Chains A and B, each alone.
Chain A
Amino acid sequence: MPGDFEDRLRRCMQTVAADVTPDPRTWRKVETRIRRDRTFRLAALGLATAAVVAFATVALPSLIGRGRIVFEPDVAEQPTQAPVPAPVPAPTGSPAPPAPEGVPEPPTEPPALPSPAGPPEPRQAATACGSGGLVAVFATVDGDLEASCADGRTVPLGPTPVRYANPAFAPDGSVVAFEQRDAADASPTLVTVGLSDGGVTDLGPGASPAFGPNGELASVLDEPGDGRQPVIQIRDDVFSEPRLEFPVFVEGAEEFTARHLSFDPGGDRLYWEAAYEGRSAWEADLTVDQPTGTPLEAFGADEGAGFVAPSSRDADTVDVIATCCPVTDGDLPATAAFGAVQPGPQGPEFAPIASLTDLGVPFDPAGDLFVAPAGTAWVTQAEGGPPAWVQGERSAWFVGDGQRLFLVDANGVAEPLRGDVASAAFNPASPVGAQPPVSPEQTPPEPTVEPPGAESSEPPVTVVQIYLPRADDPNPDCTTTFAVQRQVEGPGVLTGAVEALLAGPTEQERAEGYGGWFSEETAGYLNSATIDADGIARVDFRDFSALLNNASTSCGSAILLSQLDSTVLQFPAVTSVRYSFDGDETAFYSWLQLVTPE
């Protein structure tokens, strides 16, 4: 009878739900988040108030007769040598090519200096690096600017009494824009400098400049205390008045703002990081008359997950740093990963490229996160010589936590660049790394797709995740596994990932508490792994059931399948998976006392 079924359903749900015990620690988590939320709002309000005062008393008068940015080392300053203070050994498969012969030695003398107080001189900006070439501009945590030269020199641009942040290059490298403040708590103004003639343009109030592919300039206008919510302005070029203006948020939230703007390569969409109910990435369609900001959908599945610091590289892909998962009573994110949001079968999905909290060096996932494209530039250090920029083989990005700046490539290999840097911009006209990114290699792992890498004789190397349970998991539930990275070679990354999983954790990982069913005993038991046109992965093993005697218990099979599922389903092309022993699906599932999927 239907009523019987519904009664059974009621009873069953009561039975299942009764097994769930509320965690007494959750209130602490809620309380912490509430207090931090309030603190954040109050701080934002306080900052806004202070900024109004500062703007009225300091920044506003200084808009007239502002000092020039001088792209030259100060006479008293010697160029510092190293943009890479402590390079770490790159893992196997590092894309960093060997140091090219003849890396230019840093000049023994700084270039000739123009008079800072003199009229604009064309060489002011262009000559900061001399013949070495300007590769990037760094904004330090103290608000100073530095030019990073191809030959490894770091040239202070100033010092100046004002503070700079968020540099951005025009797509042709002709102009660089900055956010400028006369004091740390002053309202920002936008300033651009022509790299060919040193011409300075003061665009008035604005922040977080970003150039589009045709030289259009986006920025955030956030005048605290004016009762308006922040707006994003679009100019056709640095000499034009804003032609488009739209609010950052759909609903009024004037005490919050946006930053880290980024156009898509076609200039049709704009992405930004919004600080509203946590940090998240937003986007807007610029082709309509009245653009509307909407959250970039993709994550949301993990506690504390969010999108920060987006940068766009193609029409369908947005690079982000995603923070994730406070695991303690506190509310700070525990991990941060750099990756890309791309279309997936269930909608936009985040595909990680590199775990930033697993670099072996400190990275603060709660920091002031930052990501920006760096072309295909890479760094290397000749023996006994200074670190130098070189032409890399893959797309790379500047990634930072507000203190430390890294260079991360499409394979997830990270090089620490330097500390005390809040943001950075890569010069598209740089002598290194300015080539268009090699698109197949800058996408996350895509199974069975051959990354061309046409110019490289090395097999493509891709970072994938395999999933292992941990012996010290505070909440063991037979299904929770944790990602660790492996580098796999060749076009079949699904095959490589499963093979790596079957080989089990490394000795070091075992020492750290990782475990699971697989080990050197099961290594090599993969017969094949394929994906059909419907996205169904078929993974066929040589029968390893005799090696894993207890894997068919309830908890044992749950862990085993969690390891396998998580590893296989990390690839966006895979929508479901079926396993078999030597071609026999029933053999696999019956071993685990499960019904073979339909």
Chain B
Amino acid sequence: MRTATVATQSRAGVDGFADVYAAHHAEALRIAYLLCGDPHRAEDAVAEAFVKVYRRWSKGGIAQPRAYIRRAVVNEVNSRFRRLAVERREAAKRSGDDRGARGDDEQVVDADAMFSALQRLPERQRTAIVLRYYADLTEQDTAAAMDISVGTVKSSVSRGLARMRALLGEEAV
């Protein structure tokens, strides 16, 4: 009987977590994609991040699920994709990409180029820029999500932006 009770509680817990998942999955996935550049791997990493979040959530230990999930996703993506850094770098080198098929929409071309430049940044700079300019976090929140100091966030963002400009052939004014 004890087993049945545990199982029932477990089901209720997982079902309850479904709401948390539904509320945050899309944002988490898009952050993961911007960090790793591959939609399928981003989906996998986010799934794993949610499994780990659940372990904490099931113990009632998450006051701010959105921030916790964001941090879990950043950790998961960056720890998983270091091995792919070489491949990503190789792929990004070839962008800048003047293929006509993508040239109809100027914004898309710009987005592609920006995205390629973003993927060529070092992990910390890329993460800081995604959290600051896509997730729209404050420097303090970005620092918390990355487990680094605010000063490091500032320098990472500054260097990352400068690097992106250089990659895109744009000089800072």
Contacts and interface: CB of A to CB of B under 8 A. Distances in A.
Nearest to A577: B90
A26 B47 contact: yes
A30 B46 CA distance: 9
A479 B31 CA distance: 20
A598 B93 contact: yes
Contact of A589 (B17, B94, B161, B173): B94
Contacts of B14: 31, 34-35
Given A6-B133, A33-B51, A301-B83, A565 B102 contact: no
A426 B98 CA distance: 59
A285 B64 CA distance: 38
A1 B161 CA distance: 12
A42 B6 contact: yes
B114 A13 contact: yes
Contact of A300 (B30, B83, B97): B83
A553 B100 CA distance: 9
Given A5-B161, A15-B107, A569 B79 contact: no
Given A35-B14, A595-B94, A9 B164 contact: yes
A561 B94 contact: yes
B51 A34 contact: yes
Interface in B70-119: 79-87, 89-91, 93-102, 107-108, 110-112, 114-115, 118
Interface stretch (B18-26, B138-146, B147-155): B18-26
A76 interface: no
Contact of B86 (A11, A30, A31, A569): A569
Given A13-B34, A303-B47, A554-B102, A20 B39 contact: yes
Contacts of B25: 22, 26-27
A303 B82 CA distance: 14
Contacts of B42: 20
B108 A15 contact: yes
Contacts of B31: 17
A577 to B, nearest CB: 6
A569 B40 contact: no
Contacts, number: 159
Contacts of A576: 86, 89-90, 93
Contacts of B95: 594-595
A346 B161 CA distance: 24
B55 interface: yes
A14 B89 contact: no
B128 interface: no
B56 interface: no
B163 to A, nearest CB: 12
Interface string B1-45: 000001000100010011001100110011101100011111110
Given A33-B47, A301-B84, A303-B44, A9 B114 contact: yes
A475 interface: yes
A16 B44 contact: no
A403 interface: no
B39 A477 contact: yes
Nearest to A555: B101
B40 A475 contact: yes
A26 B22 CA distance: 11
Interface string A3-41: 001101111111111101011001101110111011000
Contact of A2 (B33, B44, B111, B173): B173
A445 B30 CA distance: 37
A9 B95 CA distance: 17
B26 A11 contact: no
A345 interface: yes
A575 interface: yes
A35 B55 CA distance: 11
A554 B103 CA distance: 11
A6 B134 contact: no
A349 interface: yes
B129 A9 contact: yes
B97 A593 contact: yes
A302 B87 CA distance: 14
A6 B157 CA distance: 11
Nearest to A564: B90
Given A20-B30, A22-B29, A346 B133 contact: no
Contacts of B79: 300
A20 B33 contact: yes
A477 to B, nearest CB: 7
A561 B94 CA distance: 10
A136 B50 CA distance: 44
A480 interface: yes
Nearest to B135: A13
A544 interface: no
Interface string A347-374: 1010000000000000000000000000
A26 B173 contact: no
Contacts of B33: 16-17, 20
Contacts of A482: none
A8 B110 contact: yes
B98 A593 contact: yes
Interface in A285-307: 298-303
B91 to A, nearest CB: 7
A12 B105 CA distance: 12
B91 A13 contact: no
Interface in A577-598: 577, 589, 592-595, 597-598
Contacts of A30: 21, 47, 50-51, 54
Contacts of B52: 277
A540 to B, nearest CB: 17
A565 to B, nearest CB: 6
Contacts of A565: 87, 90-91
A2 B34 CA distance: 21
Given A34-B54, A42-B6, A299 B83 contact: yes
Given A1-B173, A5-B165, A576-B90, 6 more contacts: A10-B134, A11-B111, A30-B50, A31-B14, A35-B10, A569-B87
| 5 A-B pairs closest in CB distance | A17-B30, A12-B114, A593-B99, A303-B44, A12-B111
18 contacts: A2-B173, A8-B110, A12-B114, A13-B111, A16-B33, A16-B112, A17-B34, A22-B29, A23-B43, A26-B43, A30-B21, A30-B54, A301-B81, A347-B82, A477-B40, A479-B91, A576-B89, A589-B94
